[in-house]
Amino acid sequence: MRFYLTILLCLTLSSAFAKEITSVSELPVDARPASTNLKSLLSPVGLVELPSIDVKQLNEKALSDKAGTGPYRFAEPVEDKSLWQNKVAWQVVGDTAVMKIKFVSNGVSLNIGLTNVFLPKGAKLFFYTPDGKQVAAFDDSDNKSHGQLWSPVFEEKELILEVNTPAQMQKYTTFNIKQVSQGFRSVKATSLKSGDCNINVVCFAGDAWQQEASSVARIVISGSGLCTGTLVNNVLEDETPYFLSANHCGLSETIAPTLVFYWNFEASQCNMTTDQADGSLNQFQTGSTFRAAHQASDLALVQLDTTPDAGFNVFYSGWSNDPAAPTSAVAIHHPNGDEKRISFENDALTITNYSSDTTVTNGTHLRVGAWDLGTTEGGSSGSAIWNANRHIVGTLHGGAASCSAPNAPDWYGRLAVQWDGGGTAATQLSAWLDPNATSAVSVDGLGACTRPTIDLTVSNSAPALGSSVTFSASASGGSGAGYTYRWDLNGDGAVDATGTTAEFTYNFFYRDNIYVSVSDGSGCVETASSAITVTEPATEIFTENGNIPLNWNQPSGSAAEWLVVSNEAFEGSVSLRAGNVSDNQISSIQTTYEFTEASGNFIAFAAKTSSEEGFDFLTFSIDGVQQLSLSGISDWNTYYFEVTPGTHTLRWSYEKDESVSEGSDTAWIDAVTGITLEPGTSTGGSGGSSGGGSGGGSISIWLLTLLLFRRFVKFPIKEK
């Protein structure tokens, strides 16, 4: 039974959607924030004055953090939604709806993280400074399967978030402000101060390593920390943008969407002082999907949401999983988040475990005894180390090396260990870099190909439920011949059509992007996308008469019935909400339905959760096999599951763990399509406890001891 899950689709988009910071005046007039042309017609902007931060104290605290785990911290997140939730207001002027909010801080920088983002066709989103000299612009092509959008860092005390959308699409334009981060130390070139012994990658010593250098990026993590990572090639050499970094930087399934990647942040000349530094942070892209992590070897691998822009001239570095220790090594990194530097070790590395000087054959790390040229620092974490054959053999975990300790060692997680990792796809490199299990030992680096250009047109980007939409695409450029087209029209990652045109009937609520991938004669692939918003019909779909549908019931084991509510709805005016349950209880609803078509059977619905993330879940199962699991604070999203012919039991459950409640402590479903819904006679809601409480719970003594130990005990080995 194959299923399709709209928001968990991971499809790497084309370079056309990577971003570059520019000024408002450089944007085409029709691509600028609408408020710049409607100033006299708009009410005053919503103003959020963020809590003052103690810059000096936070700097001192961050310096002490270097002895612990995690990235190089530069900003303090603010997640108090009460500061801004009443300031987010829409204004309609003519056929345009405008939302504009300004954040003010006493810090040195600002950046914003958004969740539950969906921009319909014609909608635009901007992060920009009040003077208009810096702006990052986004549109519907930037919709992500994970629904998140994190801004680059703006070294200003004021930052504006503005969203423009066609007035009739305002109700479908969604976003939540998750956090705003205030910088307590600068991360721009003229402020960063890595050690004087570091070598600019543009210096003569780095001339032979310029290709590898263009695979290295500085990354911002959750709006508050910095690490380094590297774009890597794979056995298929298909330019899948896998990005290698360090587990201790905190990269995970939850954190991966927050990453912002900066390309080509480097000096233009070799010997430049900090005051002369001119490295640009304009070339960036945002978002990724977690692929693998392995704690023992400090592995972290993510896949970028977008292929880096062709203008960024990136390189996909090669690698080797040969277990032999390299006879020399080169590292390229961003020490203290600074412009790109290069370091050289001319002696053989040894195989050890982390922070150990003892050589062991099966060790998890490579030890650099002492750098001959350059060094590493905080912010270098996750950066790669290359052998003499220009193959990556490890990623930086930590060490004591610095300009003030030139003879101190560093340790790199061994790629030879990371290759098989913990034996599963989620803990190893091999499943991703060698998906066909060819037993490859090494792969050389790869330059990016010249991709074709795609002109995509859509007959109706806001069709009514049950309507058909026609899509067409025309390619040019690239190798100039032999174009092949593949369409994904329902967000499942499968090919729905081929050829230059395609047609699809949306008999379910779909609010996501469609994609067309074009491959030229040389195999170089480009992808274009566009948002589709299936609009609501005049009459309620679910539930038709305001009652739970006939033959929907509470199964055995459910502690509370689901109920019809009118304070939350995806379409129409009502939805189904889980019953109130206490800790370790479940509220379930199910129906059994016969799917009679030989093909094309499906079940689709919208869902929303407000729960303790990672602990209290909304699940959906077919015949007892779980197909979907959601938790945390999420807005409405749509889900589509293909079903085989026959009779199947469909069940939705809200499941709580043993303690703690967050949000509204519940879940909702709506807009159920794919099955016939007979009007029922009950609104549900009997049974169960009051629920919705705090959930209680206390921190155990051993956990408190561990937290205090990790907070106050210092170690000489630094995780960079």
- pLDDT number for residue 634: 86
Cα dist. 611→46, 80, 147, 569, 652 in Å?
A: 28, 17, 17, 17, 15
Which residues does 124 contact at the CB level (< 8 Å), separation at least 6?
31, 33, 137, 138, 139, 163, 164, 165
- pLDDT number for residue 717: 55
Bridge partner residues of 342 (DSSP):
199, 332
What are the pLDDT digits (tens) for 125-162?
999 999 999 999 999 999 998 999 999 999 999 999 99
Structure-block tokens of residue 221: 């993590």
Catalytic residue among 298, 309, 338, 665: 298
pLDDT tier for residue 111 given thresholds of 50, 70 and 90: very high
- pLDDT number for residue 236: 97
Which residues does 443 contact at the CB level (< 8 Å), separation at least 6?
233, 234, 235, 237, 318, 319, 391, 433
Q: Is the dihedral of CA 32, 35, 36, 37 positive or negative?
A: positive
- Kind plus residue range of the DSSP H or E element containing 505: strand 501-506
Determine contact, residues 679/547, Cβ cutoff 8 Å. yes
- Kind plus residue range of the DSSP H or E element containing 415: helix 415-418
Question: Average pLDDT of 683-695?
Answer: 46
DSSP state for residue 548 in the 8-state scheme: B
Structure-block tokens of residue 160: 């504006």
Which residue from 194, 315, 293 is spatially nearest to 245, judged by alpha carbons? 293
- Count CB atoms within 10 A of the CB of residue 281: 22
Model confidence at 716: pLDDT above 50: no
Give CA–CA dist 235/240, Å, rounded.
Answer: 10
Which residue from 333, 337, 346 is spatially nearest to 376, judged by alpha carbons? 333
Model confidence at 690: pLDDT above 70: no
What are the pLDDT digits (tens) for 235-285?
999 999 999 999 999 999 999 999 999 999 999 999 877 677 889 999 999
Question: Average pLDDT of 573-596?
Answer: 96
Model confidence at 66: pLDDT above 90: no
What average pLDDT does the structure give for the chain?
90
∠ CA 85-90-96, nearest 5°, is 155
Q: What are phi and psi of 256, to 5 degrees?
A: -50, -40
**Known catalytic residue at 248:** yes
The reply to whether the predicted model has a pTM over 0.75 is yes
∠ CA 410-414-420, nearest 5°, is 160
pLDDT tier for residue 53 given thresholds of 50, 70 and 90: very high
Catalytic residue among 222, 381, 519, 587: 381
**Known catalytic residue at 298:** yes
- pLDDT number for residue 375: 96
Cα dist. 691→561, 565, 611, 658 in Å?
A: 13, 16, 12, 13
Residue 330: strand, helix, or coil = strand
Q: Is the dihedral of CA 21, 22, 24, 27 positive or negative?
A: negative
Count Cα neighbours of 356 within 13 Å in the Cβ-side half-sphere.
15
Which residue from 326, 281, 310 is spatially nearest to 416, judged by alpha carbons? 326
- pLDDT number for residue 274: 65
Residue positions counted in the chain: 720
What are the pLDDT digits (tens) for 439-480?
999 999 999 999 999 999 999 999 999 999 999 999 999 988
Give CA–CA dist 574/292, Å, rounded.
Answer: 40
Catalytic residue among 248, 334, 391, 648: 248
Which residues does 104 contact at the CB level (< 8 Å), separation at least 6?
47, 48, 49, 50, 157, 158
Bridge partner residues of 317 (DSSP):
232
